[in-house]
Amino acid sequence: MRQAGRSLPEYKAVRGTGHILEAISQPERVVEITLQPIRRYGVDAAILYSDIMVPLHAIGFGVDIVPGIGPVIAEPFTGKADLDRIRDLDAEGDTPYVIEAVRHLVEELTIPLIGFAGAPFTLAAYLIEGGPSKNYAKTKSLMYSQPELWHQLADRLADLSLASLRSQILAGASAVQLFDSWAGALSIADYEHFVMPASRKIFEGLKDLEVPRLHFGVVTGELLTSMSEAGADVVGVDWRVSLGDARKRVGDKAIQGNLDPAVCLAPYEVVQQHADRVFAEAATSPNGHIFNLGHGVLPETNPDTLARLVDYVHAHPIGNS
Amino acid sequence: MRQAGRSLPEYKAVRGTGHILEAISQPERVVEITLQPIRRYGVDAAILYSDIMVPLHAIGFGVDIVPGIGPVIAEPFTGKADLDRIRDLDAEGDTPYVIEAVRHLVEELTIPLIGFAGAPFTLAAYLIEGGPSKNYAKTKSLMYSQPELWHQLADRLADLSLASLRSQILAGASAVQLFDSWAGALSIADYEHFVMPASRKIFEGLKDLEVPRLHFGVVTGELLTSMSEAGADVVGVDWRVSLGDARKRVGDKAIQGNLDPAVCLAPYEVVQQHADRVFAEAATSPNGHIFNLGHGVLPETNPDTLARLVDYVHAHPIGNS
């Protein structure tokens, strides 16, 4: 469960009120924060405490993460000259704290650690919009108006994320997840033309390391076939698409999802009913299903509900397989 | 094209800096603002200048529309006692300005006028969240925790929208559109259980008036079958879903859409390519297709692009049928 820690009091205590990029750069704190939800919930994998903007921040693009808003770019990407601001990532030199945190975690953990990075479209959207966006008007405008520049940008961001993911795997991560959080804003044709080649470059570039590659998005029901073809082993789905429909669209890939995080705000009986629905739908998936939420944990979620949900999933024949 | 007027200089001149709810309550200004995009673009239907929150504002629920934010509710809906704040709409007495504007427009226009209202889920989400929301956590929480109260609220909002739509049709509107702008946040099962009955009540309640009933949403690819079954004659689709897939899901209903409004920010050749794609996909729709954007016009759109696009659609055999 992504962002499972942020509703925990022990997280708030360790995290304090300092800057998140500061916290992420301190391996000891990263280790502690990554372990907190594992201790609480006993989930089957840990996901590194970090942010998709870390590599861009590390190479000095000028990224801030503002509480209540998200990533904000002081000088957004507007044209060809800005390509030079995205240099190659030297993971050991630029993000030693990530590598160190992964190494420590792998020593501590008895379950797999999942590393992650942002997918080219989502990273590009942040760089071009300058922050979160409702309709990605600037991003799409650049994509349609300057397709060559767009492809250069996406390709460069692919190299950046690939370098980061490789370094996390080489440090010991057992699996990696590529987050294309905003890809759901695109039509299938635009996704395939403008996004898929760059995302594919990342998945291809990880092949030799032989770890499971997960691909995450929301509002991506229509894109599931294309996202699968980009090369992931596991494709995440949100609650908008039924697992039966998702299965038809992902071909021979495994599925991750799809409980609506808002369900976890309901009384526990309701949570259980929804989990039962996931079990029933997942039973139709011959290539495996990872029980998960369809998006990050909502901050207002009661930790007890999540603890009971994890126990319930573990007690189920599917959740226990 | 919804919100086609808002990027026009003549709109900004008439609209001024006053409050939008004030502008909507002045029939002469509503007539002028509704006619502006018709004069500019020569589109095939007019859509009334109004807002989905007008009936709730008119019965005194305490609705404001804040520039740059959207509808804001001073005292959000939190429990059973708030049901009493949603009394029946007496359209003649509560919204005489809407009826007067419709009457004037029907006299002036030689093309159909489309009236509209908000669908119960979207209205309820505004009332419960108190404004726009990213994840509808409060709305879903109430829905899951107090299903009976939710159904009462949705039913009451259905009555309100039904009364408003009937009054617009009786004043001369040739068609009506029900906006469920946020329904795409729901799973199919939740939509069918919590939303469909109330939306269906509206479509059923309009049947005797024998005008085309359109149903609008975005991010509703997975819900198209259910939204069709709620009773609309025409179902809107955004660019995320291909028209071929949409056709399979809507059964015998007509389709409206699905050009991405962001495409209209591109150079005109690109706009034309995307329009050609819509034509090609629409040719597979045996029950009719209304060429339209998949969402409202973006404010930064160049009016000349829209004018050329309308001409291009009219010159095409499908657009001209």
> In the numeric block, which tokens belong to residue B27?
């029939």
pLDDT for B286 beyond 90 = no
pLDDT digits (tens, 9 = 90+) for B118-153: 999 999 999 999 998 999 999 999 999 999 999 999
Alpha-carbon distance of B90 to B58, in angstroms, equals 9
Mean pLDDT computed over every residue of chain B: 95
**Hey, are the CB atoms on A245 and B222 less than 8 Å from each other?**
yes
Q: Give me the pLDDT at residue A321, please.
A: 47
- Look at the alpha carbons of B42, B240, B195, A267 in this order and tell me if their dihedral is positive or negative: negative
Q: In 3D, which of A171, A176, A172 has the Cα closest to residue A115?
A: A176
Nearest CB neighbour to A260, from listed B145, B187, B265: B187
In this prediction, residue B262 has a pLDDT band, given cuts at 50, 70 and 90, of very high
Helix (H, G, I), strand (E, B) or coil at B218: coil
In CATH, A9-236 is 3.20.20.210: yes
Distance of CA B27 to the CA centre of its chain: 20
Alpha-carbon distance of A111 to A45, in angstroms, equals 5
Residue B36: how many CA atoms within 13 Å on its side-chain side? Answer: 22
- H helices within chain A, ranges in order? 9-15, 20-24, 27-41, 54-58, 91-94, 96-108, 120-129, 137-145, 147-170, 188-190, 196-206, 224-229, 243-250, 268-282, 303-315
Mean pLDDT across B147-171: 98
Alpha-carbon distance of A210 to B157, in angstroms, equals 54
Marked catalytic residue, from B11, B40, B51, B97: B51
Q: B260 contacts in A (CB within 8 Å)?
A: 140, 187, 190
Q: Give me the pLDDT at residue A284, please.
A: 76
Q: A245 contacts in B (CB within 8 Å)?
A: 222
Angle between helices A120-129 and A137-145 (to 10 degrees): 110
Mean pLDDT across B180-197: 98
Q: What is the 3-state secondary structure (H, E, C) of B22-46?
A: HHHCCHHHHHHHHHHHHHHHCCCCE
Q: Give me the pLDDT at residue B115, please.
A: 98
pLDDT for B319 beyond 60 = no
The DSSP annotation for A142-203 comes to HHHH-HHHHHHHHHHHHHHHHHHHHHHHHTT-SEEEEE-TTGGGS-HHHIIIIIHHHHHHHH
**Hey, are the CB atoms on B265 and A221 less than 8 Å from each other?**
no
**Hey, are the CB atoms on B267 and A242 less than 8 Å from each other?**
no
pLDDT for B106 beyond 80 = yes
Marked catalytic residue, from B2, B29, B166, B249: B2
Tell me the ipTM for this assembly: 0.94
Q: What is the dihedral of CA B147, B152, B157, B162, to 10 degrees?
A: 120
Q: In 3D, which of B154, B147, B225 has the Cα closest to residue A242?
A: B225
The CA-CA-CA angle for residues B141, B143, B146, to 5°, reads 95
Q: Residue B236: which H helix or E strand, with range?
A: strand B234-237
Question: Is the minimum CB–CB distance between A57 and chain B shorter than 8 Å?
Answer: no
The minimum CA-CA distance between A269 and chain B, rounded to whole Å, is: 10
> In the numeric block, which tokens belong to residue A100?
């160190």
Averaged over successive runs of 10 residues, the pLDDT of chain A (321 residues) comes to 88 91 96 97 97 98 93 97 98 98 98 98 98 94 98 98 98 98 97 98 98 97 98 97 95 95 97 96 86 95 96 82 47
Query: Quick one: what percent of chain B has pLDDT higher than 70?
Result: 99
Alpha-carbon distance of A173 to A246, in angstroms, equals 27
Amino acid of residue A15: R
Question: Is the minimum CB–CB distance between A27 and chain B shorter than 8 Å?
Answer: no
Q: Give me the pLDDT at residue A285, please.
A: 74
Alpha-carbon distance of A191 to A187, in angstroms, equals 6
Active site residue B191: no
Alpha-carbon distance of A180 to A216, in angstroms, equals 6
Answer yes or no: are the C-beta atoms of B221 and A221 closer than 8 Å: yes
Alpha-carbon distance of A71 to A126, in angstroms, equals 7
Q: Give me the pLDDT at residue A286, please.
A: 79
Alpha-carbon distance of A253 to A287, in angstroms, equals 6
Count of A-B CB contacts under 8 Å? 98
Which residues of A, range 152-191, sit inside 8 Å of B by Cβ? 184-190
Q: A190 contacts in B (CB within 8 Å)?
A: 260
Alpha-carbon distance of B60 to B284, in angstroms, equals 47
Q: Give me the pLDDT at residue B321, please.
A: 46
**Hey, are the CB atoms on B295 and A135 less than 8 Å from each other?**
yes
pLDDT digits (tens, 9 = 90+) for B4-18: 888 899 999 999 889
In this prediction, residue B199 has a pLDDT band, given cuts at 50, 70 and 90, of very high
Alpha-carbon distance of A80 to A73, in angstroms, equals 17
pLDDT for B224 beyond 70 = yes
Alpha-carbon distance of A5 to A47, in angstroms, equals 10
Catalytic residues of A: 2, 6, 15, 51, 126
pLDDT for B318 beyond 90 = no
**Hey, are the CB atoms on B141 and A221 less than 8 Å from each other?**
no
Cβ atoms within 10 Å, residue B82:
16
Question: Is the minimum CB–CB distance between B192 and chain A shorter than 8 Å?
Answer: no
Query: Quick one: what percent of chain B has pLDDT higher than 90?
Result: 92
Mean pLDDT across B78-91: 98
pLDDT digits (tens, 9 = 90+) for B295-305: 999 999 999 99
Q: A240 contacts in B (CB within 8 Å)?
A: 184-188, 219, 221-223
Amino acid of residue A210: E
Domain boundaries, chain B: 9-236
Q: Give me the pLDDT at residue A318, please.
A: 65
Burial of B72 (0-12, 13-18, 19+ CB in 10 A): middle
Burial of A180 (0-12, 13-18, 19+ CB in 10 A): buried
Q: Give me the pLDDT at residue A319, please.
A: 54
